Structure 1
């Protein structure tokens, strides 16, 4: 017989996925974005994801290298 126990980490991952899906479902409305001379509309959740990605990448690219002893 195969043991099918669910770990605590799996439960947390499932809860986070459910919360993410709820967040996405509540932020699907179109919004107008204006930047410099450009204007366009997009779903709010896409804008949030793009801004998060830009912030993450800028943090990764500006990270200081670890000190060598």
Structure 2
């Protein structure tokens, strides 16, 4: 299989990878909240979700995103 730069398959992979990062960050936040982690760790997890959500929106071609953390 080959992927051209700028191809639609490349954009789909970018979107998929961004979604995996977002899911991973969300799971980390959930686990840390359930474990009663320090508020600084929770804040860092929330910031990571915001960044992941921005990357996901950009990969999908959106310039707006909503995040509720």
Task: State the TM-score bracket (shorter-chain normalisation).
Answer: 0.3 to 0.5
TM-score, normalised to structure 2, is 0.37
Q: Which has the higher contact order (CA 8 A, sep 6+)?
A: 2
Structure 1 or 2: more helix by fraction: 2
Structure 1 or 2: more strand by fraction: 1
| Structure whose alpha-carbon radius of gyration is higher | 1
